[in-house]
């Protein structure tokens, strides 16, 4: 699957998003089967696609929704453990993922706002460190795999806290190395290939360690380190192509 690695490393993300809309149905049809299931849309396939920049993970990218392990785990958590799909809520979604975007947009219970500096799916073009929203504006905030790109992540976290309503819930997933007690960053590494090798992507500015959750707590959030995979059976983890050690950072104000 070298072809997919070349595409991921050479084509800018906004263009990839646009291309995927017309090529995705053909890939899904070709891989149709019954071995693995995407819980987001219920479609099953004989295999999933590989995904990754420096190191490719096999059998992880859903051909139909383009979801990864973390997307499918979050979907199951929201569906089974929260009132996200039924209660009237205002949702702010940073860098909206294709796996969720159209589905959230169609949900009648959500007042749905998307934001990002570059994504073609964003309603509001905004800097996460200087958001154009009033205090206590949103019931839910999803900001997943964004903070590792932000140099001043403390300021970004403060903004997330500011615009979240009291009693509101945020999910702020990040790439995390749980073998590291402390987050690692080094701005002196400027070579893109070297940054990709060390940080996983050339545009990541850090590798979060176990201290990530306490950093959120220091901002003011109440943080639940939710290991939702432990609630699921081994069969479900395999069928849905999940990662056992993924932790969902569920944050409350």
What does the pLDDT average to over 53-69? Answer: 85
Specify the pLDDT at position 30.
Answer: 74
Could you tell me the two tokens for 110?
A: 């959500």
pLDDT tens for 183-223 read: 999 888 888 888 888 787 788 999 999 999 999 999 999 99
Specify the pLDDT at position 190.
Answer: 83
What does the pLDDT average to over 23-39? Answer: 80
pLDDT for residue 27 is more than 80: no
Q: Which residues contact 123 (CB under 8 A, 6 or more apart)?
A: 113, 114, 115
What does the pLDDT average to over 238-244? Answer: 96
187: number of Cβ within 10 Å: 8
Specify the pLDDT at position 18.
Answer: 55
Average pLDDT of every residue of the chain:
89
pLDDT for residue 24 is more than 80: no
Specify the pLDDT at position 69.
Answer: 97
Specify the pLDDT at position 25.
Answer: 66
Q: Of the given ranges (18-27, 37-46, 82-91, 169-178), which has the lowest mean pLDDT?
A: 18-27
More confident residue, 29 or 36: 36
Q: Which residues contact 54 (CB under 8 A, 6 or more apart)?
A: 196, 197, 200, 201
Beta carbons of 95 and 119 less than 8 angstroms apart = yes
Cα–Cα distance for residue pair 59/114, rounded to 1 Å: 29
pLDDT for residue 238 is more than 80: yes
pLDDT for residue 8 is more than 70: no
Query: Within the chain, which residue ranges are assigned CATH 3.40.50.150?
Result: 70-252
More confident residue, 108 or 186: 108
From 105, 106, 145, 107, select the one nearest 128 (Cα to Cα).
145
Pick the CATH number of 70-252 from 3.40.50.1820, 3.40.50.150, 3.10.105.10, 3.40.50.2300: 3.40.50.150
pLDDT for residue 109 is more than 60: yes
Query: Which three-class secondary structure string do you get for the chain?
Result: CHHHHHHHHHCCHHHHHHHHHHHHHHHHHHCEEEEEECCCCCCEECCCEEECCCCCEEEEECCCCCCCHHHHHHHHHHHHHCCCCCCCEEEEEECCCHHHHHHHHHCCCEEEEEEECCCCCCCEECECCECCCCCCCEEEEECCCCHHHCCCHHHHHHHHHHHEEEEEEEECCCCECCCCCCCECCCCCCCHHHHHHHHCCCCCCCEECCCHHHHHHHHCCEEEEECHHHHCCHHHHHHCCCCCCCCEEEEEC
Residue 93 burial (C-beta neighbours within 10 Å; 0-12, 13-18, 19+): buried
Report long-range pairs for 231-237 (Cβ below 8 Å, ≥24 apart): 232/76
Specify the pLDDT at position 28.
Answer: 67
More confident residue, 194 or 153: 153
pLDDT for residue 10 is more than 70: no
């Amino acid at each position: 699957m070298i072809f997919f690695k070349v595409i991921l490393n050479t084509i800018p993300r906004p263009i990839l998003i646009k291309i995927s809309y017309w090529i995705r149905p053909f890939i899904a049809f070709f891989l149709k089967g019954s071995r693995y299931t995407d819980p987001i849309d219920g479609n099953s396939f004989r295999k999933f696609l590989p995904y990754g920049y420096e190191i490719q993970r096999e059998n992880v990218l859903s051909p139909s929704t383009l979801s990864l392990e973390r997307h499918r785990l979050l979907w199951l958590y929201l569906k089974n453990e929260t009132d996200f799909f039924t209660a009237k809520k205002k949702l702010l979604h940073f860098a909206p993922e294709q796996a969720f975007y159209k589905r959230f947009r169609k949900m009648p219970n959500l007042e749905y706002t998307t934001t990002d500096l570059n994504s073609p799916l964003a309603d509001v073009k905004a800097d996460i460190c200087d958001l154009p929203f009033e205090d206590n504006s949103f019931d839910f905030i999803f900001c997943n795999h964004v903070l590792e790109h932000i140099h001043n992540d403390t300021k970004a976290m403060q903004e997330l806290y500011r615009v979240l309503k009291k009693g509101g819930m945020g999910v702020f997933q990040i790439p995390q190395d749980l073998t590291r007690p402390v987050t690692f960053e080094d701005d002196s590494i400027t070579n893109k290939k070297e940054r990709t090798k060390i940080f996983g992507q050339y545009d990541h500015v850090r590798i979060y360690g176990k201290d990530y959750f306490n950093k959120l707590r220091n901002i003011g959030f109440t943080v639940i380190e939710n290991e939702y995979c432990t609630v699921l059976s081994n069969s479900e983890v395999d069928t849905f192509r999940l990662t056992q050690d993924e932790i969902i950072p569920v944050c409350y104000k």
